[in-house]
Amino acid sequence: MQNDKVNETIEYVSRELMKRRPKNGDIWTGLLSSSAISTSVALFAFYMFDKKSHQAIIEKAGEWLKGTMLSDGTWGDTIESPSNMTATLLSYAALNAIGQAPEETKDYLKQRFNGIRDQHIITGVLKYYGKDLTFSAPILVMCALSGLITSWKNIPQLPFEVSVFPQKLFRFFKLPVVSYAIPALIAVGILRYKKGGRNKLREIFIPASLKVLQKLQPSNGGFLEAAPLTGFVTMCMCGAGYSNHVSVKNAVSFLSDTVREDGSWPIDTNLASWVTSLSVKALDGNLEDGEHISNLIKSNAFNFQHPFTGAREGGWGWTNLPGSVPDADDTAGALVALHKLDKGVVSSEVIKGIEWLLHLQNSNGGIPTFCKGWGKLPFDRSSPDITAHTLFALQLWRDKLSDELRKKCNDRMLRMLKWMQIEQADNGCWYPLWFGDQDAEDERAPVYGTAISVEYLADIEHPIAKNMLAKGVAYLISTQNEDGGWGGAIGLPSKLTFTARVLSALSGIGNIEHTILNKAFDYIFIKIKQNELLKPEPIGLYFSRLWYSEEMYNITFVLTALSQYKKKITNGN
């Protein structure tokens, strides 16, 4: 009876996955949630560029914002998210600019910042984001351009002039923004200087910085394929008097091309490469046109040094669109997918991908997202979930490599294991970088980070790995809810995405009690029967405390979990 339920559920979820693949045989593209932050920033970018010519798009975006406002005048990042300061402040700023600011939002902001004068807003935003100015500086600039902040005096000055130096030197400058935010560093920095910068020497760096900005802009105009970053650059350039600059026109074109029918924007155009890797893994590589998919994945590897981060060739980004940037998680995901599709046959793309990951390793042994050695700001530091994913990808391929590269992998993998050992908390958990739980007070999701790490460490035959694995498994078991599911941390409401990731991880462990796994399957089975497979679950902590949901996460996470669970109960161990 249990096997029938499992098979029935796998068949259903598999059909849902295949229904979402484009009929032209291309890779999956997925569906990201619409975002209040993206929509408000894009709206204001059009307002700053040419409000008369873009009145229709501005009005539609404004209607979407007003239509998704919560009853207390606030917004969350998605319509399924609880309200937060950033989404609310930016939405209010955008609506304020077009004369439609809700009074109830003003009341919320007064309470949130203990007032709504300049210093209240500036202090509140800077305190929320800390030393990382990647998001806080653009937020404050938008508030000033829209009239919420009346003086530029206490808005941070970003050192745009640093952008003209070679990228290999960036790590020594202790930049207040992360590696992928150089366009914002340039645009925000120049605008802030134009609004009262004290160091007149900076003036001579503006022309060269603008050339760097243009060089960093992808062919479709969208920085990182992200409406927020592209919109912030657009409004700042316009505010600084560069509305006619080619980078602004290209950015506006991107925003026009990516707006949705309802007037909203997602946080990114899509995560096509990432969700395709997840789909291949969920299907265990069993695709009729597996060779075709393999070739498509290979074609999306970067075959040039990326101008954005200076990353060497060989890595993969999250999408096949021009604004993508190579990163460790997507590179590891592509290598795992190619191993399944190509049945372990090594290709030049695989070799370059492995070398790319090894080159990215930080001096502490861990793996960062984009750039090596940038420091301690979010997304540039080493992270357990990405390091574990890298370990898994290297483990799959290393026996197929040359003696020299295999030895290098073994040495680097040992350093990764030692770093992960240091990072593992006393209770056995790891904290992930890119995923959180919006129901958690600290917004973190140790259940997710631990599940990822346990799943990827399970097949590594090393005493350090085995020791960490035992602690991680114990943590996961201790955090299971009464309903059989898991939230992002102990005591949090169960979610399909977290439960699926844990079931995947624990199903690969030899001595797990079947009652634990059966309860997790029952939770998933009931949710699917209640038609909640596609219910949005904002999970990803993207950019800087920015939440989103992706339809493909639910499907691929669940299918992977069910397939692993089936193997477990079939083998009976």
Residue 90 lies in a domain: yes
Q: Are residues 244 and 323 in the same domain?
A: no
How does pLDDT run across 46-68, given as a tens digit for each residue? 999 999 999 999 999 999 999 99
* Residue 69 shares a structural domain with residue 145: yes
- DSSP string covering 549-572: -BHHHHHHHHHHHHHHHHHHHHHT
- Whether residue 484 sits in one domain with residue 389: no
Whether 525 maps to a domain, the answer reads yes
Segment among 296-310, 384-398, 461-475 with least mean pLDDT: 296-310
The partner residues of 327 in beta bridges, in order of sequence, read 316
Looking at the structure, tell me whether residues 256 and 344 fall in a common domain: no
**Measuring CA to CA, which residue among 485, 488, 494 is closest to residue 518?**
485
**330 and 206, same structural domain?**
no
17 domain residue, yes or no:
no
Size (the chain), residues: 573
Q: What is the pLDDT of residue 572?
A: 66
What is residue 546's predicted lDDT score, i.e. its pLDDT? 81
Helix (H, G, I), strand (E, B) or coil at 316: strand
The pTM for the full model equals 0.95
CB of 112 closer than 8 Å to CB of 162: no
Percent of the chain whose pLDDT exceeds 70: 95
Cα 257 to Cα 231: distance, rounded to the nearest angstrom: 13
Residues 387 and 294 in one domain: yes
Q: Are residues 438 and 400 in the same domain?
A: no
In terms of domains, do 166 and 196 share one?
A: yes
Which pLDDT band holds residue 309 (cuts at 50, 70, 90)? confident
Letter string b/e over residues 312-327, b meaning 16 or more CB atoms within 10 A of that residue's CB: bebbbbbbbbebbbbb
- Give the residue numbers spanning the domain of 280: 270-419
Any domain includes 91: yes
Q: Are residues 254 and 149 in the same domain?
A: yes
Together in a domain, 442 and 405: no
pLDDT value of residue 423: 97
Percent of the chain with pLDDT over 90: 85
pLDDT tens, 501-550? 999 999 999 889 999 999 999 999 999 999 999 999 998 765 446 899 99
- State the average pLDDT over residues 478-493: 97
Query: Quick one: pLDDT at residue 121?
Result: 97
User: How far apart are alpha carbons 291 and 463 in whole angstroms?
Assistant: 37
Instruction: Report pLDDT for 378.
Output: 62
Whether residues 54 and 98 share a domain: the answer is yes
Could you write out the three-class secondary structure of 97-162? HCCCCCHHHHHHHHHHHCCCCHHHHHHHHHHHHCCCHHHHHHHHHHHHHHCCCCCCCCCCCCCHHH
pLDDT digits (tens, 9 = 90+) for 117-168: 999 999 999 998 888 888 899 999 999 999 999 999 999 999 999 999 877 6
Q: Which residue has the higher pLDDT, 300 or 169?
A: 300
Q: The domain spanning residue 479 has which CATH number?
A: 1.50.10.20
- Classify residue 494 by its DSSP letter: P
The answer to whether position 470 is within a domain reads: yes
Beta bridge mates, 33: none
The mean pLDDT value for 471-500 works out to 97
Question: Are 235 and 58 contacting, i.e. CB atoms less than 8 angstroms apart?
Answer: no
Number of domains in the chain: 3
- The single residue listed with the structure tokens 């100015």 is 133
Q: Is the pLDDT of residue 349 over 60?
A: yes
13 in a domain, yes or no?
no
Does residue 254 form part of some domain? yes
Q: Which of 353, 385, 419 corresponds to the end of one domain?
A: 419
Predicted local confidence at residue 173, as pLDDT: 63
| Mean pLDDT, residues 564-568 | 95
Q: How confident is the model at residue 232 (pLDDT cuts 50, 70, 90)?
A: very high
What pLDDT score was predicted for residue 544? 45
pLDDT in tens, 398-410: 999 999 999 999 9
Is residue 217 located within the same domain as residue 285? no
* Residue 239 lies inside a defined structural domain of this protein: yes
Report whether pLDDT(177) > 80: no
Closest CA to 61 of 103, 91, 32: 91
Q: Which of 266, 297, 331 is the last residue of a domain?
A: 266
The Cα–Cα gap between 315 and 302 comes to 6
Task: Quote the CA–CA distance of 112 and 544 in Å, as a whole number.
Answer: 19
Q: Is 90 within 8 Å of 139 (Cβ atoms)?
A: yes
Computed over every residue of the chain, the mean pLDDT equals 94
Select from 387, 419, 451 the last residue of a domain.
Answer: 419
